[in-house]
Amino acid sequence: MRGAKDWRRIFIPFHQEPRFVTGGQTVQNSKSSLAGLTVGAIGVVFGDIGTSVLYTVKEVFATGHVQFTHDNVYGVLSLIFWTLTTIVSVKYVVLVLRADNNGEGGLVAMLTLASRAVADRPRLRHWMLLVGIFGTCLFYGDGVITPAITVLGAMEGLEVMSPEMTKYVIPLTLVVLFGLFVVQKKGTAGIGKFFGPVMLLWFATIALLGLLHIAKHPEILWAISPHYAWRFGVHNPGITFIILGAVVLCVTGGEALYADMGHFGKRPIRLAWFSIAMPALVLNYFGQGALLLAEPEAVKNPFFNLAPEWATLPLVCLATAAAVIASQALISGAFSVTKQVIQLGFLPRLQILHTSVHDKGQIYMPFVNWGLFVLIVLAVGMFRSSGNLAAAYGIAVTTDMLITTVLTFFVVRYAWKLPLLLCLGATGLFFVVDILFWSSNLLKLIHGGWFPLVIAGAVFLLMVTWRDGRALLTQALQDTALDLKEFLSSLFIAPPTRVAGTAVFLTSRDGIVPNALLHNLKHNKVLHEYNLFVTVHNHEVPWIGMDKRVEAEALGGDCWRVIVNYGYKNDYDLPKALSQLQGRGVDLSAMTTSYFLSRDIVTPTLGVGMALWREKLFAQMHHSASAAAEFLNLPSNAVVELGSKVEI
């Protein structure tokens, strides 16, 4: 009986989940909000996987390993259908969506869930964090490949219209991508409302195109039977293994179902997938199969050859719009993931601009935006076609899928505390499937698969260098730190001159004397009337409400020790957080409050720390980090920065 209950816990019926968490609040799904969220999910969540029809079938047969026969077409279609079913429908929609972190999803949320679950196993937790962070780094590789391959794939429809248009494919691709990145600073609030309707039109169009050809050859629907995939694999094991690297392209974007759960909730995503996205994709793939059986020469670009000649140009325009939407979702995701990683302590502060006064989640990060654009231009210039980019695409996706499966096991086993055999059963099948796809994609390593791995490796190096450097810096400051309570006790024996106003001293470690206070006493020889010693704590949860934002302890002499708590998806606003202390004996009026920050200058030295080149890299990252005042939303006319040199 225990096992049955545990299985129900994993595979609970969808209709028994009428509530979801978003933005830290529990929301009841009304029919109207469910419809709106479902359309929104279509526009944001399924853009990437929705545009996979542009290149998946083409790349499977472009490998040259699959002979063009009736049985092989049926086998390939069956592989695609059951890949969609196993990885997206069962793994992500049924299982992984249940592993939410206070309503939030994505690899960062899964990582924090898993790491907390094994907190009593520090060595395991250490390696799990490294693996999870590397998976997050692969997201940036995906964020480079996805806009390049989707926009290129859409523009290649021009070649179907006329071979003479080939020379315009790359220039037009770069123009579209440049326009997309230019508008990022304006935010997506204005154009975001069109995403859902455009993607609905896209899914309706690809479904209709598929149906037109299925109607001519309805027998193609027999390919849904798994025995066609099984027979193809048994008769052609080597070829099947090779083409899995192309078949997996049909599930690119599957991670988005999980990553965007906090925006839309589980139920709208599931409804959108099973009622709209998956049926449309299946119809289009099977329509391409029917076309290939009737016209084998259409294999050069089976998607655009589905359309009659007069509809090719409108289809190219619609495909380009869908590709832009798919790219937009990845770019916005890159901003969001970077912000979360910064707050988890793996990257330095970067400039974050809010593009909406209503939605705090809409942000723009100039460094990330233009860094992605440069890498995308490099990818387009190097690979020059969606076919060549497909070789670089799969390895990042399959590695992320594999990492998600591994982390899911630890969540199911150690957070949900289910029996070991049940946990192995729930994740073991997906692990085997992921390993097969991942291994197949390793064959493409020298043909472009190295590209997203190089990007991920470079970002991973920056992240671990920042984390290790911060640890060294904290240790160096701790070695010379003074206990705050003892220091204040001795200070008040012969107190300095008190001046009117409130001083807020920022300190990275709770309970120690900030360097800014020591410098202020040394040079100005005064102490403010009210003094707050504030430490900002970042937690491995997405949201912390305002009721738990601030913890304060009176130290005597009108001095307070204050801890301000943030989740990795909260927006920093220190004055707003401290305003909760108003009326508790603290004067925080804007005209009389000053914020004192320590600006540490890091000096690399030979010793027992990191390699000297990593220390120099950390020093440069520390120097280039966005100002703490801007990051914490402090008023610029009330900030005092006092510097000090620290050797690591």
Chain segment 468-503, per-residue pLDDT in tens: 998 888 888 777 788 899 999 999 888 899 999 999
Nearest alpha-carbon partner for 278 in 92, 469, 468: 92
- pLDDT for res 108: 83
Phi and psi at residue 609, in whole multiples of 5°? -80, -140
What one-letter code names the amino acid at 195? Answer: F
Name the band, by pLDDT with cuts 50, 70 and 90, for residue 20: very low
| CB-side neighbour CA atoms (13 Å) of 348 | 19
Q: Which two tokens stand for residue 161?
A: 């219209």
Residue 449 burial (10 A CB sphere; 0-12, 13-18, 19+): buried
Which residues touch 256 (CB under 8 Å, ≥6 apart)? 44, 45, 46, 47, 48, 49, 329, 333
Task: Tell me which of 178-192, 246-260, 427-441, 442-456 is least confident.
Answer: 178-192
Model confidence over 341-368: pLDDT tens digits? 888 889 998 888 877 655 555 778 899 9
Phi and psi at residue 130, in whole multiples of 5°? -65, -45
Q: Which two tokens stand for residue 408?
A: 């899911």
- pLDDT for res 170: 92
The answer to whether 324 and 180 have CB atoms below 8 angstroms apart is yes
What one-letter code names the amino acid at 2? Answer: R
Model confidence over 385-426: pLDDT tens digits? 888 888 788 888 899 899 999 999 999 998 888 899 989 988
Rounded-to-integer distance, Cα 148 and Cα 51, Å: 12
Q: Which two tokens stand for residue 580?
A: 């909760």
Strands (DSSP E) found in 256-303: none
Task: Tell me which of 133-137, 375-379, 387-391 is least confident.
Answer: 387-391
- pLDDT for res 209: 96
Model confidence over 278-326: pLDDT tens digits? 999 999 999 999 999 999 888 888 999 999 989 999 999 999 999 988 8
**Long-range CB contacts for residues 213-220, cutoff 8 Å, separation at least 24:** 213/287, 213/288, 213/290, 213/291, 213/294, 213/306, 214/283, 214/286, 214/287, 214/290, 216/290, 216/294, 217/290, 217/293, 217/294, 220/74, 220/77, 220/286, 220/289, 220/290, 220/293
Name the band, by pLDDT with cuts 50, 70 and 90, for residue 16: very low
How much of the chain, in percent, has pLDDT values that exceed 70?
93
Rounded-to-integer distance, Cα 192 and Cα 190, Å: 6
Model confidence over 217-232: pLDDT tens digits? 999 999 999 999 999 9
Q: What is the mean pLDDT of the chain?
A: 85
